[in-house]
Structure 1
Amino acid sequence: MSRPHVVIVGAGFAGFRAARELARQARGTADVTLLNPTDYFLYLPLLPQVAAGILEPRRVTVSLTGTLPGVRLVLGEADRIDLDARTVHYSDPEGGAGTLAYDRLVVAAGSVNKLLPVPGVAEHAHGFRGLPEALYLRDHVTRQMELAAAADDRATCAERCTFVVAGAGYTGTEVAAQGRLFTDAQVRRNPLRHKVRPRWLLVDIAPRVLPGLDARLARTATRVLRRRGVEVRTETSVKEATREGVLLSDGESVATRTLVWCVGVRPDPLVDSTRLPLEQGRLVVDPYLQVPGRPEVFACGDAAAVPDLDRPGELAPMTAQHAWRQGRSAARNVLASLGRGECRPHHHRDLGFVVDLGGVQAAANPLGIPLSGPLAGAVTRGYHLAAMPGNRVRVGADWLLDAVLPRQAVQLGLVRSWSVPLESASPELARVPGRPAPAHTEPPGPVRAGDPSEDPEGDR
């Protein structure tokens, strides 16, 4: 008789961990297939360092085929799940279509950019959810600084070297912190005319940066950002975006060619196609990560509304740390459903938070102990090295070289703007030229740009 077939949709933190656990434990018990748009796992927390030229892009990627022995990798993006037929329909990177039949399904499709109904954002903002977006942003910032240095008039120079980051969660805070260091380094080598200095604005509708974190860590991050020269605007959102600037909710019009959109994420639109019950846009699951009424379907990560058993009535945040542990629980319970082991409810133990602020600065809260300065920086980098499933030596080497050598600020031209649309459902998948990306926009609602929604790179 053929062995049961387990299909995992998505290779983010939850999907990769589930696949790795099944690769180790399911040999001889089940066949495992992983469906993902790319052939790598992306370590999202270090993406701001790719955009700032500290790490080379391959450093934050881990080969799926190289680290998941015995797991079949299918390159593609899931379009639809037929629950009654137990099939997953997908599109491959070249536009072809395929179908995967399953006996057990793990939905770990992750999340996409949250696109709010703010005029001009979809057309003029830059997202920050995948490797192509980080590479594009690095080229874009470098280009703006070079054009600013060559500008004849002060107004054009100031416009090009002004950068607005919307959303002061983990990602937005780190992008602003790293970006300021990146542009300052370029100015030291290629001074701007008219005595203009790079300007970075970080805006958020929340009353402080890093909403949801310990207030002491938020104060540390704010202090470092302001000392570095980043303008922190709380209780402020983006009202409109154009090619030449951004209109803020406080009435100020900022002349800029750069708006980085980090206001939060929402579950992948795939979850809507299942027509299963949703909570906060995520698939409803029980404490065993099973979908009620569909015992063959499991969900974890940003796509799942996982109940927090330590806080009754609340859901686990959409963060990397939670997704990583949920992936392990999902794999364990999938095996239990196949008669191997015991099914157990998912519990989460919080390890704390780390926020890399660039250089030797960071804000960290390991095991509830608040840290700042170089000590927090060391803890933060140590945590990332321990958490990464590969490339540790290469990442450490890049950090060492960045500490002793000047960064290279050159445009590589690897990613074009059409391949990183803000509204794309799969920002890591560079679209085929001529094949339009699906437009998934948020319906009008009370949420405003700069909304402090949960951040997938957060609770690290």
Structure 2
Amino acid sequence: MERPRVLIVGGGFAGVECARGLERGLPAREAEITLVTPHNYSLYLPLLPQVAAGVLTPQSIAPSLRRMLHRTRIVPGGVVGIDTADKVCLVRLIDNEVVSIRYDRLVLTPGSVTRTFDIPGLTEHARGMKTLAEAAYVRDHVISQLDIAAACSNEEERAARLQFVVVGGGYAGTETVAYLQRLTGAAARRYPRLDPSLIKWHLIDIAPKLMPELGDRLGAKAMELLKKRGTEISLGVSVSEVTEDTVRFTDGRLLPCRTLIWTAGVTASPLIGTLGAETVRGRLAVSPDLTVPGFPEVLACGDAAAVPDLSKEDGDAICAPTAQHAQRQGKQAARNVIAALRGQQLTPYEHKDLGLVVDLGGIDAVSKPLGYELAGLPAQAVARSYHLMALHTGVARFRTVANWLINATAGDDFVRTGFLSRQPATLRDFERTDVYLSPEDVRKQMAEGKAG
């Protein structure tokens, strides 16, 4: 008999945990497992700011999928359309060839993309921090601004190149500004022609508080640490316009600036909008057992799915799009796929929150493990222990610890790799959100024989 085909869309936290769970729980004879992902690694997103700052190498937080998955077929590409009636996905491979893959069980974990708004110049001039390539590019870009400023004879241009803006007061934005401010502060000592006081970092957010999930005390502590380092924080403010060399804020300020890093939240992958299924706040509505209503052979989890949060008394509460939830939901999806294939009862996703950790570099951190509020070195110990626990492989953990030790003892050489040096590499370049097809387009392409 032909084995049932399980297709997983997306190689993020949820997708990889689902594939690993299926490999552990299903003998090879029971199912054929396929994972569609454009990358051949599993990216640990929470440590991206440390890659941008040069504290960690990219390999430390991007362990190879082929080291973790041993009998899963890995297809290098992205699903651009799904026909649930015929149970087929159209996949655009990394060389742009379009192929079709059929399935019996589908697990949707396409993740999220950077959330943007209709702000003039944003997608053309802002940089993101959502992918490994973006983190590597941001590092090159920031160091290049220091190099150019040090060689520049025009004082106005020098000052503009040393102004850096990060938009987004959540965990990603706060850690990004914390680590990059440390990077430029340390680098300034190697640039004798630069006045360190000219290097200005700005963190802005439309919300009235920084990281409100942490609570008032820890949020205030994080603000105090950042301000002590010289970061200017503006809350209740956003961006109204971006040009190549200026950023205008909604409070009227116009800042001469060549660097805008956008970390103002995420939204579900555009693939979700092509299904014609019910959504909740832009995410695919799913039942507590992760199945999609009306499509019993389809499960969804991670950032793209609105998974009911059964730990909350509010019956409409959904799980936040965090790595912690995505990893656990991926494991639950694997268990439910196995149960479905064996004709057993599916079980709901339930969790106990482990808390929150925010690494601000050095010995500075704020953490809230299991509801306990910590700051300073104890919080940093908790944060880094959690990250090591969450990394998928022993090799990744070893590389991460080694990088931390090397950076703490030897520092950084602030080398530019020349990555995309002749391209702007903005949000528009890194996140392809215009390639998705509707179910009708999928059927049309199949009928025309354009997908092999």
TM-score interval (norm. to shorter):
over 0.9
Deviation string, structure 1 residues 112-138 (Cα, Å, up to 9, x no partner): 011210011111100110001001000
In structure 1, the residue matched to 2:404 is: 399
> Could you tell me how far apart the structure 2 residues matched to 1:184 and 1:2 are?
61
In structure 1, the residue matched to 2:356 is: 353
AA at the equivalent of 1:276:
A
In structure 2, the residue matched to 1:191 is: 192
In structure 2, the residue matched to 1:235 is: 236
In structure 1, the residue matched to 2:17 is: 17
Range that drifts further, 22-31 or 102-111: 22-31
> Could you tell me how far apart the structure 2 residues matched to 1:46 and 1:384 are?
8
Deviation string, structure 1 residues 216-275 (Cα, Å, up to 9, x no partner): 221121111001111011011011111111001111111110000000111000011111
Alignment of 1:96-107 (within 5 A): 96-107=97-108
Deviation string, structure 1 residues 148-201 (Cα, Å, up to 9, x no partner): 111213222111011000111111000100011000111011134456431000
In structure 2, the residue matched to 1:2 is: 2
Range that drifts further, 412-421 or 281-290: 412-421
Which of 334, 337, 347 is residue 337 of structure 2 equivalent to? 334
In structure 2, the residue matched to 1:149 is: 150
Contact between 2:164 and 2:258, CA under 8 Å: does it hold in 1? Answer: yes
Alignment of 1:44-443 (within 5 A): 44-193=45-194, 196-311=197-312, 312-339=315-342, 342-390=345-393, 391-416=396-421, 418=423, 420-423=425-428, 427=431, 437-439=432-434
> Could you tell me how far apart the structure 1 residues matched to 2:252 and 2:290 are?
46
- Per-residue deviation, 1:3: 1.1
AA at the equivalent of 2:4:
P
When the two chains are superposed, the root-mean-square deviation of aligned CA atoms in Å is: 1.5
Alpha-carbon spacing, 1:416–1:85, altered in 2? closer, same or farther (3 Å): farther
In structure 1, the residue matched to 2:26 is: 26
Q: The residue matched to 1:41 in structure 2 has which SS?
A: coil
Contact between 1:4 and 1:103, CA under 8 Å: does it hold in 2? Answer: yes
Tell me the number of residue pairs that the alignment of Structure 1 and Structure 2 aligns. 430
Determine what percentage of the aligned residue pairs are the same residue: 43
Contact between 1:115 and 1:422, CA under 8 Å: does it hold in 2? Answer: no
Contact between 2:364 and 2:377, CA under 8 Å: does it hold in 1? Answer: yes
Contact between 1:113 and 1:423, CA under 8 Å: does it hold in 2? Answer: no
Q: The residue matched to 1:423 in structure 2 has which SS?
A: helix
Q: The residue matched to 1:78 in structure 2 has which SS?
A: strand
Contact between 1:8 and 1:105, CA under 8 Å: does it hold in 2? Answer: yes
> Could you tell me how far apart the structure 2 residues matched to 1:214 and 1:438 are?
34
Alpha-carbon spacing, 1:410–1:130, altered in 2? closer, same or farther (3 Å): same
Contact between 1:161 and 1:256, CA under 8 Å: does it hold in 2? Answer: yes
Q: The residue matched to 1:11 in structure 2 has which SS?
A: coil
- Per-residue deviation, 1:415: 3.4
Q: The residue matched to 1:81 in structure 2 has which SS?
A: strand
> Could you tell me how far apart the structure 1 residues matched to 2:274 and 2:217 are?
42
> Could you tell me how far apart the structure 2 residues matched to 1:328 and 1:224 are?
37
- Per-residue deviation, 1:416: 4.9
Contact between 2:308 and 2:319, CA under 8 Å: does it hold in 1? Answer: yes
Q: The residue matched to 1:398 in structure 2 has which SS?
A: helix
> Could you tell me how far apart the structure 2 residues matched to 1:423 and 1:149 are?
29
Contact between 2:185 and 2:196, CA under 8 Å: does it hold in 1? Answer: no
Alpha-carbon spacing, 1:351–1:26, altered in 2? closer, same or farther (3 Å): same
Alpha-carbon spacing, 1:30–1:130, altered in 2? closer, same or farther (3 Å): same
Contact between 2:167 and 2:261, CA under 8 Å: does it hold in 1? Answer: yes
Alpha-carbon spacing, 1:305–1:376, altered in 2? closer, same or farther (3 Å): same
TM (norm. structure 1) is 0.91
Structure ranking higher in helix proportion: 2
Contact between 1:423 and 1:439, CA under 8 Å: does it hold in 2? Answer: no
In structure 2, the residue matched to 1:444 is: none
AA at the equivalent of 1:203:
I
- Ranges of 4+ aligned residues in structure 1 off by more than 6 Å: none
Alpha-carbon spacing, 1:44–1:23, altered in 2? closer, same or farther (3 Å): same
AA at the equivalent of 2:379:
A
> Could you tell me how far apart the structure 2 residues matched to 1:237 and 1:122 are?
15
Q: The residue matched to 2:178 in structure 1 has which SS?
A: helix
Deviation string, structure 1 residues 407-442 (Cα, Å, up to 9, x no partner): 021110133575844136x64xxxxxxxxx4559xx
> Could you tell me how far apart the structure 2 residues matched to 1:340 and 1:77 are?
30
TM (norm. structure 2) is 0.92
- Per-residue deviation, 1:141: 0.1
Alpha-carbon spacing, 1:302–1:414, altered in 2? closer, same or farther (3 Å): same
Deviation string, structure 1 residues 295-337 (Cα, Å, up to 9, x no partner): 1000000111111112221111111111111111111111111
Alpha-carbon spacing, 1:419–1:93, altered in 2? closer, same or farther (3 Å): farther
> Could you tell me how far apart the structure 2 residues matched to 1:103 and 1:80 are?
16
> Could you tell me how far apart the structure 1 residues matched to 2:142 and 2:355 are?
32
